[in-house]
């Protein structure tokens, strides 16, 4: 019984101090956008409305911007991933909005500065769309400004 309580305590402690790096990025649909995942990250996984399964993109010299779920199918996008971990979208679409993470990044244990330890999980970026701004109305010479 004491062994079971000890195992539960260790498990509860690890779960309680587990952390992950999470960021929210906002992009305007129809505009170019750049995400930087850091040097050495040459595989990115995303979950979007473009497909129910996780989608992957790999850094390579000859990219057509498509993502894949199984290495065969192609999900269209204008994304290109470079070997320095930078992903560039020529034109963000609604299908590009979603969560992006690094499937090769492993959780690791860090010291918290107070004598304790915690686990830092993989990084996650949530890419959200911001509404496109409507064009400003053209200045009509017949309408006078209320500001003199």
Least confident of 46-50, 109-113, 121-125: 109-113
77 CA to centre of own chain: 15
Q: What are the structural domains, with CATH classification, of the chain?
A: 12-130 (2.60.40.10)
CB 65 within 8 A of CB 90: yes
- Tens of pLDDT, residue by residue over 61-116, are 888 889 999 999 999 999 999 999 999 999 999 999 999 998 888 776 777 677 77
Residue 121: pLDDT band (50, 70, 90) is low
pLDDT at 147 over 70: no
Tell me whether strands 18-28 and 117-130 are parallel, antiparallel or unpaired.
parallel
The whole-angstrom separation of Cα 115 and Cα 117 is 7
pTM (2 d.p.): 0.69
Residue 148: pLDDT band (50, 70, 90) is low
How would you label 64-89 residue by residue, b for 16+ Cβ within 10 Å and e otherwise? Answer: ebebeeeeeeebebbbbbbeebbbeb
CB 100 within 8 A of CB 46: yes
Q: Under DSSP, is residue 110 helix (H, G, I), strand (E, B) or coil? A: strand
Residue 15: pLDDT band (50, 70, 90) is very low
pLDDT at 1 over 70: no
What confidence score (pLDDT) does residue 96 get? Answer: 95
């Amino acid at each position: 019984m004491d062994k079971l309580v000890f195992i539960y305590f260790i498990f509860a402690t690890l779960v309680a101090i587990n952390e992950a790096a999470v960021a929210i990025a906002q992009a305007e649909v129809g505009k170019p956008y750049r995400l930087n995942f850091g040097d050495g990250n040459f595989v990115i996984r995303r979950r979007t409305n473009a497909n129910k399964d996780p989608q992957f993109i790999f850094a390579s010299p000859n990219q057509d911007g498509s993502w894949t779920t199984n290495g065969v199918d192609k999900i269209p996008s204008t994304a290109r991933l470079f070997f320095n971990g930078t992903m560039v979208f020529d034109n963000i679409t609604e299908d590009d909005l979603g969560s992006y993470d690094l499937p090769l990044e492993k959780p690791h244990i860090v010291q918290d500065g107070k004598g304790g330890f915690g686990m830092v999980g993989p990084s996650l970026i949530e890419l959200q769309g911001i509404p496109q701004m409507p064009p400003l109305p053209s200045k009509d010479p017949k309408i006078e400004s209320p500001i003199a």
